[in-house]
Structures are given as C-alpha cells and as structure tokens.
Homo-oligomer: A and B are copies of this chain.
Amino acid sequence: MYIHQVAAYLPAEIITNEHFTRINGLSNEWITERTGIRARRKAAAGENTNTMALEATRRVLAAAPAFAATEVDLIVGATYTPHDTIYTLAHAVQRELDVSDIPVVSISSACSSLLNAIEIVEGYFALGKARRALVVVSEHNTAYNNELDTMAGHLWGDGSAALLLTPERLAPTDLDVRTVITGGAGNIGKADISVTLKPVEKGIVMPFGKDVFINACQYMTRVTQQVLERNQLSVEDVRYLIPHQANLRITKNVLQQLGLPDDRAVSNIEELGNTGCAGAAIALADTWSSLQEGEHVVITVFGGGYSYGAMLLKR
C-alpha cells in the first residue's frame, strides 16, 4: 500500500495565547511552558468539519494529476468533532467528487483515527474491493470547545488533511506503507473519563490530563518500537518521527525514551494546537517535499478513549 499524496487545509483565523489571557486569565508563558502551544487556527463562521474536509480533498487531488477524482473508489473520513453524524464528512466528500456506488464511511477512534482509517483502507485493498482510496481527517474542535475551561480550553485547533492511497506504486515519490498497527486501550487507566466529548451533555473536556500524558508517552513510544522491530529497523533509521500533535512535552518525552534528538520530530503544535486526528496528517504534508528516497518516517498516535497506533513509511 502506498500514500500517493497528502495535503492539508487550515482555516485563516489565528488565535494566539493572548486571547486566553483576556478571557480566562491564562498567560502566554503558562500555556507555552506546559503545552508548547503559541497559536491555533479557528474555523470561520460557515466553516465546519465537512467544509474543511472538502478543502483538503480539493488540494490533494489538485496536487495529484495521476490520481483522477473520478477513479476514487473508497472514501474513509475521520473525526471526533462531527458537523453531521448522518451526512458525514465522507458523504460530503463523495457528493463533491460525484462518484457513485463506492464504499463511504466515517470513523472515530479519537485522535488516533488517521491510522484506523488507513488500516481500514488496507483491508479494502486486501479484499480487492478498492484500489484508489481517499482518507480525509478533519477536526472542528472549536465547535465543541469551551474556551473558558482553564484545564483544556486553550489546547484545541481546527484543521484537516486528505491522503490518496493505492495498492501499487503510482509515482517514485509515493510513500510505501510498510506496517500499520492500531490498538484500542479503552480498558487502560482513566480511558473512560480522561477525555470525553458528549455532544448532548457538553463539549470536549479533559479532567485527567496527567493520565493522558502518562499513557500517551508510554504507548506512542512502545508502538513506535514495535513497527521498527517488525521491519528490523532501529530508531537511527527514522528520518522523521511524526507524533500525534497533543503537547510538546509528550513529544519530547517520547523522543527521550526512544533516544532520538529533538530535531528528529516533526511538530506543528506550536502554531496549530491539538488538531485531533488531523494533526499527524498535516505534519506529514509539511514533511512531504523534504523526504529523500530510502528515508523512513514513523507516525505514532495516541488518542482519548484511549487508542493508539503507529505506521512505518518509506520513500
């Protein structure tokens, strides 16, 4: 399986830490020290999970002339911040592309959904039921976030990304998906209460950030080691590590456990905050042009719920 192209979309409005200083008293220093976040994007009025998914889709297809929109034969959307749970982001993308009679589904395994979506695509390819897949990850965190929440209100940002996948290589720049591992960890720690988004009751809350922190560091490190071991590689073979963009301290902890220098990690959290399941895909889009032939990338994720995963890519 190959990733032929990836592209991201970010809304224009930038919310800096000073916004939170004004509304809930958190200082820029306090926020950056604990999270690394200096700014995040906010969807405009009229934008939502579905419209951002469409923007990312348009961009990825525009960047991939060898992959015709009319040939898309599988769409997997992912979000935990849905605009519509019935006319889901995957269905909105299908309507935009106007391709009929193909499998279309949206999923959530919280912040780790990118890898679940890609593993689902892997299954469709194995069945021979698809050969031109579109994965779209999109989060409208600000629609569900309470900005006044001093525990987590400052963490979240909006954004989306889209990836094109094929069972065979289409171009020399395609990334070979060597291994995908996903795992739920709903039975671990405070998975049931640490991070929740109950649409009827309230938005995103994260009352037990420490439990998330500890488990995110452990799981992202461990599953990174697992994908490397399965491919007889060591951490030195990893050109870029792309962790879920939740917190710069988590990223640094994972790097330290793996024995990698700080500059080996790709990070966008400083400017984008936690963009949920879109974060790692946005980072992959940023990394796309700088990857050289033969180089490896590991994407490793952890999400509320809990869930985790890792994927080894090779150019």
Contact with A184, one of B102, B108, B200 (Cβ below 8 angstroms): B102
> Interface readout for A139-153 with B: 1 if CB under 8 Å, 0 if not?
000011000000000
Q: Which of A84, A86, A199 has the most CB of B within 10 A?
A: A86
Instruction: Please tell me if the beta carbons of A197 and B100 are within 8 angstroms of each other in the complex.
Output: no
* Whole-angstrom CA separation of A165 from B196 in the bound complex: 29
* Whole-angstrom CA separation of A129 from B196 in the bound complex: 28
* Whole-angstrom CA separation of A125 from B138 in the bound complex: 28
Q: Does A304 contact B (CB under 8 A)?
A: yes
Q: Does A307 contact B (CB under 8 A)?
A: yes
Count residues on chain A whose CB falls below 8 Å from chain B CBs. Answer: 65
* Whole-angstrom CA separation of A195 from B184 in the bound complex: 31
Q: Which residues of B contact A143 (CB under 8 A)?
A: 200
Q: Which residues of B contact A85 (CB under 8 A)?
A: 79-82, 108, 110, 197, 199
Q: Which residues of B contact A95 (CB under 8 A)?
A: 186-187, 191-192
**Beyond A104-B186, A107-B107, A307-B104, is A87–B196 a contact (Cβ under 8 Å)?**
yes
> Interface readout for A65-79 with B: 1 if CB under 8 Å, 0 if not?
000000000010001
Q: Does A106 contact B (CB under 8 A)?
A: yes
Instruction: Please tell me if the beta carbons of A91 and B186 are within 8 angstroms of each other in the complex.
Output: yes
CB distance from A117 to the nearest CB of B (A): 9
Q: Which of A84, A124, A127 has the most CB of B within 10 A?
A: A84
* Pairs A–B under 8 Å by Cβ, sample size 27: A81-B85, A82-B108, A85-B110, A85-B199, A86-B197, A86-B204, A87-B186, A87-B192, A88-B108, A88-B305, A92-B192, A95-B191, A99-B187, A100-B185, A101-B183, A102-B183, A102-B184, A103-B182, A103-B183, A103-B184, A104-B182, A104-B183, A104-B186, A105-B120, A123-B129, A126-B126, A144-B200
* Shortest 8 CB-CB contacts between residues of A and residues of B: A123-B123, A104-B184, A91-B186, A199-B199, A94-B186, A126-B126, A86-B304, A80-B85
Interface residue ranges, A against B (CB under 8 Å) = 75, 79-88, 90-95, 97-110, 113, 116, 119-120, 122-124, 126-127, 129, 143-144, 182-188, 191-193, 195-200, 204, 303-307
5 more contacts with CB within 8 A, not counting A85-B197, A105-B307, A120-B120, are A80-B86, A84-B196, A94-B184, A101-B183, A122-B123
